[in-house]
Structure 1
């Protein structure tokens, strides 16, 4: 098995794939590989037997993340704390392994609390609280917290109401190390400025919550997020400097130094947060040092494989972690391409950046939906800067700050902060070549990696022509993925769940045009983040949308227009349409965009589809809700009526002005307010389907029970974003079907 242990890791990967929804694909690929090995006679029967046995084992070992686990009985749990204690703005949170069921539950304890000292790793706790399911994604392309926790083996959270409801005693040995970690962090926070501590906290302890959002977003957009996390590079630098210090300055033997490192590195891994890249590098380094002590020369690929297997066996959910996937994918790719790194240092750095960039593209598209082609060159400049200056300087700063030399630490970190905020960020933010592709399909991902492996093999063999051709194929795969919507004969209407607000996205067939009707609030009261950033943009990017042809703002209430400035910054917007009475503050926002004011009897014709403006008229005495732009359009053989926030008065006017107005799909006005959608209005427009955009548990009581009763009595099928999440309508020229995100 020497030199072949990485095949066991690959087998484990297919087994995990086999368990989660793609049974036929994982089994089929493994079967093909197995039969190929048998008939080629290039591998031994023993090796194939070990691979088959491993596949069967990991197929039973791998947990299915889609499984709905039952709630633990009662409102009291007893168990052991198995995680570090984290702190948010409003609470402390940690994970408990329940004593009877062995299920993992996240416990939230509100601030302030007198019992913080009880919450230690390994503590035995009795907790009384309320069970909740974690929040789930309510729109396509949005972050799914429930699914994220399932990938960590957690299906439920428990919220504690009072201090008396939780009692913990004892702690593990790991808790002592974590206590040292907290003491060091507190000491550094007291001595360093906010900006300097933010960098130390991120690069030494793996906590990036103090780094500014501006830096995090820019680094993410440029594919530099890995620089804000602790990686194997930290372990390598610490190992190297410690080894030199003891062997050169302290004259300690190499064997004794290796033993010191074998003991010390696991402690450092815990201090650094024990993320997968750190654990991988720690296990690899300890294994390598142990091999040297035993006079064993193990192949690096086998050491990496051993690290992966150890991590999987110690945590069966580890392969679901993105950092695990990124870390091992990049490491294996570089190891299997080591013959390419025999040139000058410059070409070695260039090759490493190139290989790492292309190795993770499918994973990046599955999570972030976009690529930054220029990030290859940004990494060439910024990665060496972090590797040879920032990380060593940060490590040195921590040592100096723990002694009366923290002004030197502050000076080093201030120089770095200046270089990032005043030099790097302005350049990166001005140069934007983001390529939004959308989520890549599983078939394309397989095809991509097969092509990538062939590309790498030809590159190693210096077959330049074949290497170039397969490189072209890799780019073509990405281009085809990006162009797929332009060959889709279907159009889509999506009412996004944006909380208590409105946003409707209309995509015409063959992606001939993209229209956005309203842009929701800036931050819904029930969600602690920006709607544009966390809801609208991820949805559009997951669909491969980077350009919005038309934005219609029905009126200027915050819950319909709040995220417009964000949309104008992040997307190329061709046209914006509003009612004629535009508030002064919004006139300024719309100064640099093609802005047209619309009113009744005007039409917006988009690729042969007529969007008829029915309201407002020339009367300027309306309140803002009643100024809403009302639109009628025929999509997929069904007439849609989009009504903004109009009330009874405007409904009466529309019935008088358009006595023959009937529709198939009615967007219920004002989130289902009892002051809209009268019985007379429903009877005249006679909709078959009603769509209500409304926030869960909103303080206004929307949708009104009266409105729901009127719709029910009229036999109208109702879809609500608070119950169904996003509501999607997929249509062709003559027909369409509704697909609620949650049936």
Structure 2
């Protein structure tokens, strides 16, 4: 069953997005199937492919829609999707058969209080404009389009006005929200957050905060509804039905109904649906005496999941859930001790984990081994009892006991916490090779052969990710700010120039949102995906928040060997600098050189007060390409630069001050004669950067323009072996 179903799914994936390596894999599968000379199998391949491709085509077509204005229309809301953070409201809902993600900025504190009331929101009246989801804006970054469309959400709807409609009465689809409200009203926020996650699969913003430790140590799967939880629920129901003396066929029907209700109450996550389908398929085979192998059962479940949700495999959560289930399937046939099972599962999970997150929680497998029995036999049953206690009186000591258990577990985890190992993101081809080595390893274990060969090859391939022969100069899309990352081939040396950051504005208390670090979504995922666990040289061009606002967080997350500031600018940062540990601080001025393998020449300033014209200007050459990085240098600074370096030329110019009118004079452009002008600016920023005047000057000089607001991350990449280089962009923007 596995071969025709895989062939069908790979064929259908081309309907959504073409991938050359998937085409190669499909070709190999077809060759393998043809070599088997089995007409029934070939017919099954054609039938599965036809139905899955047709289903995927119409599903994708239904998601695609032009941007349009929405005027005073009624939307059916998913009640449990409503969240409020400061003055920012989000929800999901259906309009004319399509599902939208709605963003709305609340206009007053009174309006916020109205939305935060105890009422269940199932309908709203709104106006606004739809907008397509964006692809990844940075290399290896979050792909908004793939993620939301895999969930069946068509577009983003930016609401101009939105008002509550009178509740239309009780609906089964709103039952989950009633349960959430009941739990929140009964227990303290932290405990309520854990109960909601474990029992009904609801993770709110509080869980994002409280569960950060579990996420960091690789234990978040214990709070994700999957095989453990479904086995507990449906297994318990089956035990009761069996004790009642019901025959298998009746039990199968009742378990199917129970599984459907469970999916509804837990929000219909892919991991829950997968686990319910797996349980029911296995029980169906037992009831109907079907001789299907575990792999065939897994394949049927996969086919059913893809037919219901054609883009499910574009979701990281679904990928991990399915892959982990496949590994456990193979491991179930092996006679292993508990620690061997845990170790092998952890190692076999590595390929997809690093492809998804670029890092590996080294102790995650060990803690899973230790904590899994505690969650299975103590914490989960106790949370179910507390959930029931939301509706009937229970002794208060029980909730205190469970809260104490969570506190105890977290204290132990904090004491034994080991930082994750940053490995980098493998290419899709390398991912396939690593998964192939995992499957080969299982065959060798069954044949009682050693694993030295596959383990050695896999280790070398994993190490090679961070030490790629590709060099990189990346103008990272950090919104309205600057950040430039330089990585030499084979990881000889790394540079980071500015960290990006948000400019903050004064707001009333009710408007303030929870503080999130923008670098967690832009800069840091890029560095980790490239296998960068430390930066050799970090340069802060000047003291503006949009250039150094994320400095403190970056220092916390990644080891920085050397930090460079313009001489004089340190006075404004002296309090902050006293807190910097294990990083050498250097004060640079004109004429200094930063780096060893690559020399970054400091061309300006002599002494800095932290202003735009005091930005550190650096010049370097890689692969016979010259780069000039100007920070927020303005026209006065440009003139001084030309006075000191009248023969200065460059191929790549990082346009000063995000392309504002105060920088980039015609004289400066004419003297430098750059081939490419890179502008780092935020999409639809409030300052109007880059200005039409600056764009006109660049075009007048026949300079090819790249803009992070339009093109996402822009990077020059070259091979350390062939020396061949090219400039790339993440988003093709029509000129």
Same fold (TM over 0.5): yes
**Aligned residue runs from structure 1 range 348-497, under 5 A:** 349-405=338-394, 407-428=396-417, 431-432=418-419, 434-463=420-449, 465=450, 467-483=451-467, 485=468, 487-488=469-470, 491-497=471-477
1:586 aligns with 2:580: no
1:595 aligns with 2:595: no
Contact in 1 for aligned 2:423/2:531 (Cα 8 Å): yes
**Aligned residue runs from structure 1 range 285-324, under 5 A:** 285-289=279-283, 300-324=294-318
Counterpart in 1 of 2:508?
Answer: none
Deviation at 1:295, TM superposition (A): 6.7
Aligned to 2:333, the other structure's residue is in SS state helix
Change (3 A) 1:711 1:322: closer
Contact in 1 for aligned 2:270/2:317 (Cα 8 Å): yes
Deviation at 1:217, TM superposition (A): 4.1
Counterpart in 2 of 1:543?
Answer: 530
Note the alpha carbon deviations across 1:416-445, whole angstroms, 9 max, x for none. Answer: 3212332213422xx22x332322223222
Distance 1:107 1:563 in 2: 28
Aligned to 1:458, the other structure's residue is in SS state helix
Counterpart in 2 of 1:148?
Answer: 147
Aligned to 1:401, the other structure's residue is in SS state coil
Change (3 A) 1:507 1:530: same
1:13 aligns with 2:9: yes
Deviation at 1:143, TM superposition (A): 0.8
Counterpart in 1 of 2:495?
Answer: 515
Distance 2:158 2:633 in 1: 40
Deviates more, 1:139-148 or 1:518-527: 518-527
Change (3 A) 1:330 1:585: same
Contact in 1 for aligned 2:331/2:341 (Cα 8 Å): no
Deviation at 1:183, TM superposition (A): 1.8
Aligned to 2:662, the other structure's residue is in SS state coil
**Aligned residue runs from structure 1 range 105-144, under 5 A:** 105-108=100-103, 112=111, 120=122, 128-144=127-143
Unaligned runs of 5+ in 2: 506-512
Change (3 A) 1:662 1:446: closer
Distance 1:445 1:522 in 2: 35
Unaligned runs of 5+ in 1: 39-43
Change (3 A) 1:404 1:292: same
Aligned to 1:195, the other structure's residue is in SS state helix
Contact in 2 for aligned 1:129/1:161 (Cα 8 Å): yes
Contact in 2 for aligned 1:76/1:126 (Cα 8 Å): no
Aligned to 1:202, the other structure's residue is in SS state helix
Change (3 A) 1:623 1:514: closer
Contact in 2 for aligned 1:215/1:425 (Cα 8 Å): no
Distance 1:132 1:527 in 2: 25
Deviation at 1:497, TM superposition (A): 1.2
Distance 1:65 1:684 in 2: 55
Change (3 A) 1:81 1:289: farther
1:333 corresponds to which of 327, 336, 348: 327
Deviation at 1:658, TM superposition (A): 2.7
Deviation at 1:338, TM superposition (A): 2.6
**Aligned residue runs from structure 1 range 270-289, under 5 A:** 270-289=264-283
Note the alpha carbon deviations across 1:161-206, whole angstroms, 9 max, x for none. Answer: 3346x979979xxx73333322222111111001101101211222
Contact in 2 for aligned 1:75/1:131 (Cα 8 Å): yes
Aligned to 1:703, the other structure's residue is in SS state coil
Counterpart in 2 of 1:694?
Answer: 681
Contact in 1 for aligned 2:472/2:717 (Cα 8 Å): yes
Counterpart in 2 of 1:41?
Answer: none
1:685 aligns with 2:672: yes
Contact in 1 for aligned 2:146/2:315 (Cα 8 Å): no
Deviates more, 1:581-590 or 1:491-500: 581-590
Change (3 A) 1:48 1:742: closer
RMSD: 3.4
Change (3 A) 1:61 1:599: same
TM-score by length of 2: 0.86
Distance 2:68 2:719 in 1: 49
1:228 corresponds to which of 219, 223, 247: 223
Deviation at 1:516, TM superposition (A): 0.4
Change (3 A) 1:73 1:566: closer
TM-score by length of 1: 0.85
Distance 2:562 2:537 in 1: 5
Contact in 1 for aligned 2:339/2:369 (Cα 8 Å): yes
Contact in 1 for aligned 2:126/2:160 (Cα 8 Å): no
Deviation at 1:104, TM superposition (A): 4.4
How many equivalent pairs are there? Answer: 705
Counterpart in 2 of 1:98?
Answer: 96
Contact in 2 for aligned 1:118/1:168 (Cα 8 Å): no
Counterpart in 1 of 2:702?
Answer: 715
Change (3 A) 1:481 1:702: closer
Distance 1:423 1:400 in 2: 28
Deviation at 1:215, TM superposition (A): 5.1
